[in-house]
Amino acid sequence: MHGRTAVAGVGESRYYRRGAADETEFQLACIAIRNAVEDAGLKLSDVDGIVSFMDRDRNHPARLGAALGTGKLNFTGQAWGGGGNLGMSTLMIADGALTAGYAECVVIFRALAQGQFGRFGRAPAVARAAGEQAYLMPFGVAAPVVRNALMVRRYMHEHGIGQEALAEIALAAYAHAQHNPRAVRYGHPLTREDYHASRWIAEPFHLFDCCQENDGAAAIVMTTAERARDLAKPPVYLRAAAAGMERWGGVPAFNEPSFPNGRYWHIGEKLWERAGAGPADVDVAQFYENFSGTTLMAISDIGFAPADGIEDFVSGGNIQWPDGDLPINTSGGNLAEAYIHGFQAVNEGVRQVRGDSTCQVPDVELSLVVSGPGTPPGSAALFSREP
């Protein structure tokens, strides 16, 4: 890391509401990859590496390579784990492959077609509840929204956080989405009154505290810093990245020493140490919002504010473009742009450094992207204008 590799291009498919895509998930992946390669000024035949994440990814690199007409695939990789929590660890995989010389041009992507394959937010169907499910399902703790609601409610209780803090996350996302024609919720502004009037999903989460369910794909192209400097778009350097979990991260969250947290404190420590920077140096940030409350946890865990002060930090327009000290989720995020397991946030993080975001923060030097909080293992990445 430390600027040895760079993002040379970003791309996406059209983003749809769940089930509305005309394309298959595989076709959406191909569209996003093709657009990212074109954005970089490269040819598909230049691609010799493909990386993705989620242990249920259905889009095999061999099939993608054949369909797209890539070069010989010298490297493929995948970050294990479900959901969007390991999205940024894919950059670590690609960085390692590029710096070791295993590949010269690596595509990273994520594609979802929930209309084709089913909803991710639905509780799993099981013939017999075993392990942790035997203790959770009899009480209705099955879907992700219920698990996270329990954790966030406890967090709010322990740190004196009110409902308005959650509202600020949703309002910022929707405000930014109104400037972004790619956003699914573009043209659908959200008022504070709308937020509070929306139905409860699982307290403390209203409807607008919950991420969307979408069909679509997002992709980036990474290459060496030297090569990226000669391509079509300004290179965006990978300054640092971190991923992992504490030793107890593989057990149910209810058994952890500290139940209500985003599980990001040690990832933040590693990220800042590797970057030689700190939270105060960051100009703009993209935080994964599976639910607004876990975003609050991640903002605190990563080092921007103590938990007891997180409501003050997100209030008063502080996280909204153009006047906030730390604008977050400037494309609309999972709540209002699209839910592509958070990988669309990488595209926005890169665009902020390049200077072509729809909610552009002036003179961005450091841009942070944080993957799904609340579910270990987690990951985060820091992009920079200079290597």
How many structural domains is the chain composed of? 1
**Neighbour-count burial for 43-64, b at 16+ CB within 10 Å, e otherwise:** ebebbbbbbbbbeebebebeeb
155, 195, 264, 339: the catalytic one is 339
Q: State the pLDDT at residue 194.
A: 98
Q: State the pLDDT at residue 141.
A: 83
- Flag whether 307 is in a domain: yes
15, 155, 195, 288: the catalytic one is 288
Label residue 121 by pLDDT band (50, 70, 90): low
User: Structure pTM?
Assistant: 0.95
Rounded Cα gap, residues 273 and 141, in angstroms: 37
Instruction: Note the pLDDT tens digit of each residue in 198-221.
Output: 999 999 999 999 999 999 999 999
Q: Is 194 exposed, middle or buried (0-12, 13-18, 19+ CB in 10 A)?
A: middle
**Beta carbons of 308 and 160 less than 8 angstroms apart:** yes
- Flag whether 113 is in a domain: yes
Its domain, for residue 66, covers: 5-117+211-384
Q: CATH number for the domain including 11?
A: 3.40.47.10
Rounded Cα gap, residues 278 and 240, in angstroms: 11
- Flag whether 149 is in a domain: no
**Is 288 an active-site residue?**
yes
Residue 251 clears pLDDT 50, i.e. is over it: no
- Flag whether 205 is in a domain: no
Q: Is 162 exposed, middle or buried (0-12, 13-18, 19+ CB in 10 A)?
A: exposed
**Is 339 an active-site residue?**
yes
Closest-CA residue to 362 (of 304, 286, 283): 283
Indicate the SS3 state at residue 384. strand
Q: Which helix (H) or strand (E) holds 193?
A: helix 192-197
DSSP structural state of residue 113:
E
Instruction: Note the pLDDT tens digit of each residue in 170-186.
Output: 999 999 999 999 999 99
Q: Which residues contact 151 (CB under 8 A, 6 or more apart)?
A: 253, 259, 260, 293, 294, 374
Q: State the pLDDT at residue 107.
A: 99
